Amino acid sequence: MARTTSLSGFTEWLPQERLVELHVLDTLREVFERHGFSSVESRAVETVETLLQKGEIDKEIYGVSRLQAQDDAEARLALHFDLTVPFARYVVENAGHLAFPFRRYQIQKVWRGERPQDGRYREFTQADIDIVGDGALPFRCDVELAVVMARALESLPIGDFRLRVNNRRLSEGFYLSIGLQDTAAVLRAIDKLEKIGRERVAAELMETAGATAEQAEKALALAQIRTEDLSFVERVRALGGEHELLDAGLAELAEVIGELERRVPGRAVADLSIARGLDYYTGTVYETVLEGHESLGSICSGGRYESLASAGKRSFPGVGLSIGVTRLVSRMLTEGTVTSTRAVPSAVYVALRTDEDWGAAQDVADALRSRGVNVEVALRAEKFGKQIRHADRRGIPFVWFTDDQGLHEVKDIRSGEQVAADPRTWTPPEEDLVPRVLPAG
């Protein structure tokens, strides 16, 4: 990143950095739409009750109020802290207008009042995809969603990544099989394993989940299983648990890992330490790490939920994944792993011979723009050398000149080559038409 913003936790990109972010967003949008996902946008503000209904996270919520409010009618409004809970409300309110299973992608800002640190911001952009059913949703949607997200990440210049997959039915079934009844407490403790370490998780299991030392050890042994193939099934069986939930979870996780290895080989791993602390996940859960940047945490996470959205007896089960776009872009910029070929969209700068030529210069620019070329026109006539230097500082590769006879020439200011050109037909080389984001080096 080029600089630190004056308000901690809130990013502001410079133009060249913003081009990197736009490239990421455009790439994700293209991949999501190619797989049949429709774009939606929900409001930024929800009621506090809506945001709290799936877990106590009030320390992260930004409340919203009007400075000139005369009463407390809007006192319980807040900015959404993710896109999943608002999407659940959106589905319930618009169910009569949606065709199920409904495939949605959503790219928006979210806000969390947590302590800013590397990869964590108070305002950031998320990109979510979900498939939601009416009453039921085939398990194959869990598989398809993981494949789509892996393909989206493969399309970005981010290097190697691993999609870490687990199944909460597997975990919960195993915990029940060894006598741990408060499975939610166990999952919340296991979810902290990478943050606080094995010993502290064991202590928390005994304190909050009522585990004995032996039960805590078995729960931790399950969390240590990690394989890139289906061998995790035998390793789980070797721990000795027996429960129908465990059987179902093993079968589902094997299906996800098998299909990912077939369609996006080398991108997925069965990792039984993945728990996802939020209570609404009920089956498959996902987290994604960049290799070499594990300290950044998960850049993409989510899972299966059976009852996040419901209206009376009608339920809308779904499966979703969310990319922390700001976290990802920030690391790409900080590490210098990507570069933009230029800082501005403009490919051509039309120079002015005299101030009276401004109208004619706009005609040239419009002729080029009509064929998809991005163009700027000088605001005043100056020495050509000064106009060329201005274009160079802006990062614009071509400068257009028109003489007093109406003849046109265009100069590539990188090579110095200057040739005759016709604004009705000339086009820059394809690689110069728009800025491109490329891996550095």
Give binding residues for L-histidine as ranges. 82-84, 112, 126, 130, 276, 280-281
CB-side exposure of 179: number of CA atoms within 13 Å? 10
| Chain-centroid distance, C-alpha 396 | 30
Instruction: Give per-residue burial for 1-26: e unless 16+ CB within 10 Å, then b.
Output: eeeeeeeebebebeebbebbbbbbbe
Alpha-carbon distance of 202 to 223, in angstroms, equals 12
| Cis, bond preceding 345 (omega within 30 deg of 0) | no
CA dihedral sign, ordered 346, 351, 355, 361: negative
Helix (H, G, I), strand (E, B) or coil at 315: strand
Alpha-carbon distance of 241 to 221, in angstroms, equals 12
Determine the Cα angle at 58 with ends 53 and 62, to 5°. 110
Determine the Cα angle at 172 with ends 170 and 176, to 5°. 115
DSSP letters for 121-154: -SEEEEEEEEEE-SS---THHHHHHHHHHHHHHH
Q: Which of 263, 310, 313, 307 is nearest to 283 (CA)?
A: 307
Partners of 46 in beta bridges: 78
Q: What are phi and psi of 222, to 5 degrees?
A: -65, -45
Where does 35-79 have alpha helices with state H?
A: 48-52
CA dihedral sign, ordered 113, 115, 116, 119: negative
Binding-site sequence positions: 82-84, 112, 126, 130, 276, 280-281
CB 397 within 8 A of CB 432: yes
Alpha-carbon distance of 92 to 100, in angstroms, equals 12
Burial of residue 413 (number of CB atoms within 10 Å: 0-12, 13-18, 19+): middle
Structure-token pair, residue 293: 């940047």
Helix (H, G, I), strand (E, B) or coil at 68: coil
